[in-house]
Structure 1
Amino acid sequence: MCITWKANEEEVISLANQPEPTFWGYRRPDGRVGVRNHVLILPTITCATQAAKQITELVQGTVSFIHQHGCAQVGVDYEQTFRTYVGMGTNPNVYGVVVLGLGCETHQARSVAGEIAKSGKPVELVSIQDHGGTLSAIAQGAKIAAQMVQDASELMREPFPFSELIVGTECGGSDACSGLSANPAVGFVSDRIVDCGGTSILAETTELIGAEHLLANRAVDDKVAKRVYEVIQAMENRAFTMGVDIRTGNPSPGNIRGGLSSLEEKSLGAANKAGTRPLQELIDYAERPTRKGLVWMDTPGHDIEQLTGMVAGGAQIVLFTTGRGTPTGSPIAPTIKISTNSAIFNKMRENIDINAGTIIEGTETIDSVGQRIMDQIAKVCSGKLTKAEILKQHDFGIWRIGPTF
């Protein structure tokens, strides 16, 4: 059974007899559909992050993030950070953007604002240097943001099919139960999303090392299969340059305490999030998918960096499994936390939305838990808040692939 939560949250409508599940969202000027209606205060340089934070404290309905990027970056590292900024601003969960810059940084706020504006959404530019300092820039940014929030509040949710969704999948703080419960349940959901005509993103390249052959065998063509091995090799080579053979290394201390003995063991469990459908393409970090279906985004294993990459790539919602427990969330996309065991669910109820430990206990099947996740997606995409949203867990981090100059 699939359900959808009405925009006014007064009733839950069963869609068991409907051909396709739906949710209530917002149509954007570029045709994509958002599940949230944020006004984003986007700092393009670390020097502007505190001013951006103060604007969000002044204006309800705005979100922002703290980061250390935006200057002294060159080449592909510069391009990747720029792509991430633009992707966050163009994510369909964002109604409008106030781009806040310093003025002398490498990542010029004007360039970022110009690219975001191509999506057709409201975009305004504020420069700390041009506006005479921090206080003046905060005042101007808050004034613009307040009007955007009021304009955004006039929009009404409409029903949309799941084919409009890009769902990010992630696992962090894994344990021995991850590959047996929560990850296969997310794999069930991934297949359902794909079958509905939507897109499911698999990430965490480092945590697919040892399972790459399974995904290559599911590639839609030889080009995609070749690309699978190329990104795995590139990730291993990065580790080699630091004198580390990542393939023979152990997982993190938390993973080890959770019962995982090797990277391959963790990877085989993590790959279950991809379900069983063909792999359509393999995209770069923070890049928007060009095909529907199962997509692999090349990201590191760092939870916040991979989450940021998927959201910058257009994911409106993220499914995050955990066996050890983690509060990670996004300022842009609601993140549904799914525990792999009942012990961590009971211990961290304030952070975790769904318990998949019932699979381990034998009281539920992978399919039944997967269906519960589908139902939760419909509710959250229609306005229900996740635990991470309630706690304002606005994590953000960009994968740096070059030195700072």
Structure 2
Amino acid sequence: MSDTFMGYLRKDDKIGIRNHIAIIPSVFCSAKVAERIAYQVPGSVYFRHPVGCSQVGEDLEVTAKTLIAIGNNPNFAGVVVVGLGCERFSPYELANGIAPSKKMLETVVIQEEGDSLAAIQKGSRIAREMQQMASRQVRVEFPVSELMIGLNCGGSDMTSGLIANPALGHASDKLVNQGGSSILSEITELIGTEKILARRAVNEEVASEIMDTVRRTEDKLFKQTQQSSNKARTHLISTGNYDGGLSSVVEKSLGSMKKSGKAQFSGVIQYGHQPKSKGLFLLDSPGHDGEVSTGLVAAGAQIILFPTGRGTPTGFPGVPVIKITGNPKTYERMKENIDINAGEVLLGNRTLEQMGEEIYQEILEVASGKQMKAEILGHDEQFCITRLP
């Protein structure tokens, strides 16, 4: 019998673990209005971004797909789209893309309302009504197969690859083995491991996709570093990673891949898209924490698991981020930001398997409503749409 959690059933049969109202601007020009609407309606979250206009081609397409996918994430019971009225990515296109989810949905356009004050007044009223409706919904029991977790990390040190990431890998395997889904990301931090990952593919086609995805990223990084006139800007890992005991991008990659455990890869997901089946996936994503987390939520992840050796306070709007550190000193220093002290393994108080079970149980509790520290403190910095050159 599989494990269960308590979640919210949506009209499109997806399962949410939070019940927020999302306030999504279609363009940066309407971001402040969206923020003011969210500020007046507790239980709502907003998505500030700097795009939506003066973009062309695939760059604009990625923005459109990502914003639509964020609106479709099942953690949101309703969405208020806020537009200016003359942007290239129309607020009505955004709303139409979210409409198939059958969730509560309204559009507010500043130029049509007359001014920002009128738009704020209308949007706030709509969001309040949605929040009132959402508050009537109750959690019910679902099998863990309805969960999708996103695997991301930031501020890595030597304990990340030795403890936090492999412990998370145990938790990911347990979820996937019961029919759930898990998504490995950060291609820039998987360079050098592509053959190892490809050997875990369900078939040759997926193996080839994994190899091609990592190689494309490596080629892109090679060109960018060759073009730089500042040699200090060509390092593929941060100074914080070096200070934390990591020697090279390959060493970091070998530790980073351990977040995915030992399960087979079912496929590669393109940024802004959702998988069509369940299992373990690789997300074709950059290395920027915010862009990665945004891609994971756009893919449908209800929770993000985030190992951090050096420590970080960041979170994502409307999606819980479980912070894990393998460094006991980091945990003691940042107790108000870190949720799980996997450094207990380093101290000899837990085995990796025991810590993996602890992380897995935390996933179930968070899915059933337990709030993470980033949520409680209002951290939402990880929303960041990727831009194409």
Indicate the TM-score class for this superposition, using the shorter chain for normalisation. Answer: over 0.9
Matched, 1:46 2:28: yes
Matched, 1:318 2:304: yes
Q: Which runs of 5+ in 1 are unaligned?
A: 1-18
* Equivalent residues in 2 for 1:152-231, closer than 5 Å: 152-231=134-213
Q: Tell me the equivalent position of 1:340.
A: 326
Work out whether residues 265 and 280 of structure 2, in 8 Å CA contact, stay in contact via their aligned partners in 1: yes
* Per-residue Cα deviation, 1:274-318 (whole angstroms, up to 9, x for no partner): 100111100111211112111000111111110011001100001
* Equivalent residues in 2 for 1:11-160, closer than 5 Å: 19-160=1-142
* Per-residue Cα deviation, 1:136-183 (whole angstroms, up to 9, x for no partner): 110110010000000000000001111000000111100011111110
Q: What TM-score, normalized by structure 2, do the two folds share?
A: 0.96
* Equivalent residues in 2 for 1:183-332, closer than 5 Å: 183-244=165-226, 249-332=235-318
Q: Tell me the equivalent position of 1:357.
A: 343
* Per-residue Cα deviation, 1:50-97 (whole angstroms, up to 9, x for no partner): 111111111111100221111111111111111110111110000000
> What secondary structure sits across from 2:304 in the alignment?
strand
Work out whether residues 239 and 245 of structure 1, in 8 Å CA contact, stay in contact via their aligned partners in 2: no
Q: Which runs of 5+ in 2 are unaligned?
A: 229-233
> What secondary structure sits across from 2:160 in the alignment?
coil
For 2:143 and 2:249, the matched residues in 1 are separated by 37
For 1:376 and 1:243, the matched residues in 2 are separated by 40
Which amino acid is the alignment partner of residue 329 of structure 2? A
Offset of residue 237 of structure 1: 2.5
Work out whether residues 170 and 204 of structure 1, in 8 Å CA contact, stay in contact via their aligned partners in 2: yes
* Per-residue Cα deviation, 1:312-333 (whole angstroms, up to 9, x for no partner): 1100001100000011211021
For 2:226 and 2:300, the matched residues in 1 are separated by 33
Matched, 1:397 2:379: no
Work out whether residues 180 and 360 of structure 1, in 8 Å CA contact, stay in contact via their aligned partners in 2: no
Which amino acid is the alignment partner of residue 397 of structure 1? C
For 1:227 and 1:279, the matched residues in 2 are separated by 11
For 1:173 and 1:99, the matched residues in 2 are separated by 34
Matched, 1:366 2:352: yes
Closer/same/farther in 2, CA of residues 186 and 244 from structure 1, 3 Å limit: farther
Offset of residue 21 of structure 1: 1.3
For 2:86 and 2:219, the matched residues in 1 are separated by 35
For 1:360 and 1:287, the matched residues in 2 are separated by 38
Residue identity (%): 48
Which amino acid is the alignment partner of residue 99 of structure 1? V
Offset of residue 245 of structure 1: 9.2
Work out whether residues 250 and 256 of structure 1, in 8 Å CA contact, stay in contact via their aligned partners in 2: no
> What secondary structure sits across from 2:24 in the alignment?
strand
For 1:170 and 1:373, the matched residues in 2 are separated by 14
For 1:274 and 1:293, the matched residues in 2 are separated by 11
Work out whether residues 40 and 63 of structure 1, in 8 Å CA contact, stay in contact via their aligned partners in 2: yes
The structure whose residues are more often helix, as a share, is 2
> What secondary structure sits across from 1:178 in the alignment?
helix
Instruction: After the TM superposition, list the runs of 4 or more consecutive aligned residues in structure 1 that deviate by more than 3 angstroms.
Output: 243-246
Offset of residue 201 of structure 1: 0.4
Matched, 1:386 2:362: no
Work out whether residues 311 and 332 of structure 1, in 8 Å CA contact, stay in contact via their aligned partners in 2: no
Residues 226-235 or 161-170, more deviating:
226-235
For 2:275 and 2:239, the matched residues in 1 are separated by 33
Which amino acid is the alignment partner of residue 304 of structure 2? V
Offset of residue 105 of structure 1: 0.7
* Per-residue Cα deviation, 1:225-275 (whole angstroms, up to 9, x for no partner): 1111211122123223324499x9441011111000100000000000010
> What secondary structure sits across from 2:111 in the alignment?
coil
